[in-house]
Amino acid sequence: MGIAIINTYLVVLFLLVHFKIVRFNLFWKLSPFIVALLVLFGLLLPMGWGAPQGPAVVIRNSVAIVPDVAGEVIEVPVAANVPLKAGDVLFRIDPTPYAAQVKAIQAQSTLADQRLAQMTQLFDRNAGRAFDVEQRQAEADQAKAQLEGARWNLDKTTVRAPTDGYVTNLALREGARVANLPLAPVMAFIDTSQTIIGVEITQNDARYVKPGQSVEVTFKFMPGRIYVGKVESVLQAIATGQVQTSGTAVTPKTIQTAPFVARVILDDMAFAHTLPAGSTGDAAIFTDRLQVTHIVRRVLLRQTAIMNYVNPF
């Protein structure tokens, strides 16, 4: 943009001199350098504060699917990258041992209820002790609790989608044995119920960025198009400033200036849901400062959108 402004000025200056509207004296000879300095320090540098621009990326939460019970997989009805609704079946584990456990505990619970009824009847006739009634009551309650846990295990042999989304990189097959180990997920489930768009802004340009400010985004996935949105939040922490609990003293490390991240929501949420996770592009945030620079930033962003047709990087 700066080069375009200077070239335009040079053309105008040439025409003014050619038609002898102005005399080509020392001032006009030096004027291109003066204009270049004015454009640089009066427009381009302040534009980073008033309308910062940075790379944007579409992010979706990934859920590591770990079954709550162990067993042999008997059915995998899903296909990779096919949209699913919350509650759809992902896979089923052989329920036979868990169903047998439910029947066994059900029988124990029924027997405990019968013994409780008998002891209660004897106590009502002054032929039994209150302690025996309390003991049978505890046994009946314990059996009911065990039955509830067994039924929960049986229900968990059917693993369902936690939310709207799809399974990616599906390798699970019938006959595989799965375990309820946190470090051994069997599927990667991509949550599509919420689309997150993050924009990286350099720290010296992020000072005036606030929630609610207008945003324009262009994606390489959809070249030539501009989408409007708003800043939802500015993340208050990045990895450089994170400290985790440990048993060691502070370990000095090289400190590097990393960009801050602003979270953006698009006005067209239907389009946002169609964006594949990992879609990249550029975004411009229009703050309430130096609004004269907003026009230049809008022009530059549209140039970037057009260049996305041919620029793969």
CATH number at residue 287: 2.40.30.170
Residue 21 shares a structural domain with residue 72: no
DSSP secondary-structure letter at 84? B
Q: Residue 27's pLDDT is what?
A: 66
Residue 244 forms part of a structural domain: no
Residue 247 forms part of a structural domain: no
Residue 176 shares a structural domain with residue 212: no
Q: Residue 113's pLDDT is what?
A: 83
Alpha-carbon gap, residue 190 to 51, rounded angstroms = 33
Per-residue pLDDT tens digits for 75-107? 999 999 999 999 999 999 999 999 999 999 999
- The three-class DSSP label of residue 233 is strand
* Residue 148, both tokens: 């509830």
Above 60 in pLDDT, residue 1? no
Q: Residue 7's pLDDT is what?
A: 55
Per-residue pLDDT band at 167 (split at 50, 70, 90): very high
Residue 27 forms part of a structural domain: yes
Per-residue pLDDT band at 64 (split at 50, 70, 90): very high
Residue 42 forms part of a structural domain: yes
Alpha-carbon gap, residue 161 to 191, rounded angstroms = 9
Residue 6 shares a structural domain with residue 105: no
Residue 211 shares a structural domain with residue 303: yes
Residue 246 forms part of a structural domain: no
Per-residue pLDDT band at 14 (split at 50, 70, 90): low
CB distance 184 to 210 below 8 Å = no
Residue 116 forms part of a structural domain: yes
Above 80 in pLDDT, residue 150? yes
Per-residue pLDDT band at 232 (split at 50, 70, 90): very high
Which of 223, 217, 201 is closest to 313 using CA atoms?
223
Per-residue pLDDT tens digits for 120-144? 887 777 777 777 778 888 888 898 9
Residue 155 shares a structural domain with residue 225: no
Residue 6 shares a structural domain with residue 71: no
* Residue 167, both tokens: 């399974």
Residue 29 forms part of a structural domain: yes
**Count of CB atoms situated within 10 Å of the CB of 254:** 4
Domain that holds residue 221: 51-60+194-239+256-313
CATH number at residue 88: 2.40.50.100
Q: Which pTM value belongs to this model?
A: 0.73
DSSP secondary-structure letter at 20? T
Per-residue pLDDT band at 18 (split at 50, 70, 90): low
Residue 83 forms part of a structural domain: yes
Residue 99 shares a structural domain with residue 177: yes
Per-residue pLDDT band at 246 (split at 50, 70, 90): confident
Which of 207, 216, 204, 210 is closest to 231 using CA atoms?
210
232-253 in b/e form (b: 16+ CB < 10 A) is eebeeeeeeeeeeeeeeeeeee
Strand partners, 202: none
Above 70 in pLDDT, residue 156? yes
Residue 1 shares a structural domain with residue 74: no
- The three-class DSSP label of residue 187 is strand
The total of structural domains in the chain comes to 3
Residue 157 shares a structural domain with residue 212: no
What value does the mean pLDDT take over residues 231-258? 81
Residue 119 shares a structural domain with residue 225: no
Above 90 in pLDDT, residue 26? no
Above 90 in pLDDT, residue 23? no
Per-residue pLDDT band at 35 (split at 50, 70, 90): low
Biggest CA–CA distance in the chain, Å, is 128
Q: Quote the mean pLDDT of the chain.
A: 86
What value does the mean pLDDT take over residues 191-204? 90
277-301 in b/e form (b: 16+ CB < 10 A) is bebebbbbbbbeebeebbebbeebb
Burial class (CB in 10 A: 0-12, 13-18, 19+), 311: exposed
Residue 184 shares a structural domain with residue 269: no
Residue 144 shares a structural domain with residue 207: no
